[in-house]
Structures are given as C-alpha cells and as structure tokens.
Structure 1
C-alpha cells in the first residue's frame, strides 16, 4: 500500500510540473498574440 502511495505522489508531482511547463507555454503564446 505504501508503494502505491509513493507512486501516486510521484505521479502527482510529475503532472504538476507538466502543468507548470504547459501553462507557461500557453501564457507565453497568449502574450505573443496580445
């Protein structure tokens, strides 16, 4: 069970970092358009 919890935590961190990168790209593109 603890192993599964660790995997979930790692996945959550990966998704959060991906969202930060993707969000930065989107905001940069939006700024370029504006």
Structure 2
C-alpha cells in the first residue's frame, strides 16, 4: 500500500493521494490505480 503511493502513475508522491489510497486499502494495486486515476 505504501509502495502504491510512490508509483510513477502518482508523481506527486504520498501526500497527494494518501486519502484515496487509504479509502481503497482493501483492494489490490490495480484497484488503487483505477481509484486514483
């Protein structure tokens, strides 16, 4: 989950989408990516 916030598709870093990542913490990485994008 922490790694997901640091992936290239989230260039602004952890703080930018931290809330989104926590909201979808039950999903896999693909689910997190879809939620953020």
Structure 1 or 2: more helix by fraction: 1
TM-score by length of 2: 0.27
* The structure with more radius of gyration: 1
TM-score by length of 1: 0.29
